[in-house]
Amino acid sequence: MESQKCPKCGGSHIVKRGKRYNKSGKKQLYLCVKCNLTFIEHDGFERMRKNKKDIVRAIHLHNDGLSLFQVKNHLWQHDCVKVSREAVRLWIKKYSVFLKSDKRGSKANNKR
């Protein structure tokens, strides 16, 4: 926990404060002893209505060659996740930066 810092005061005296449960899963809560702020560790999927697993799956399906319409239908038929093509497009725009960096690294590793 030494690397964890409070987002409000920057204090490093942080303790675990239970877990937060909602539709997107469970996340560890932390408490700053200095300013009494309760917060979660950021993972890049804050304020997303769908589960992180479903978002990543949609992006991978699109990168594998499926159209936005096909991705939407696949998620609905196989995972019972109702999402619009526009939502999938926005996820791809927002999170493809992370996937592109992973692809470059994996191609470099494969060439060795």
Report residue 43 as tokens. 């993972």
Mind listing the pLDDT tens digit for each residue in 32-58?
Answer: 999 999 998 877 777 777 888 899 899
Cβ proximity of 48 and 24 under 8 Å: yes
CB count within 10 Å of CB 31 equals 17
Whether the model clears a pTM of 0.75, i.e. scores above it, the answer is: no
Domain boundaries, the chain: 1-42, 52-103
Nearest C-alpha neighbor of 88 from the set 56, 64, 53: 56
Looking at 23-94, which runs of residues are DSSP E strands?
25-32, 38-40
Report how many helices (DSSP H) and strands (DSSP E) the chain contains, helices first: 3, 3
- State which residues of the chain have pLDDT below 50: 1-2, 102-112
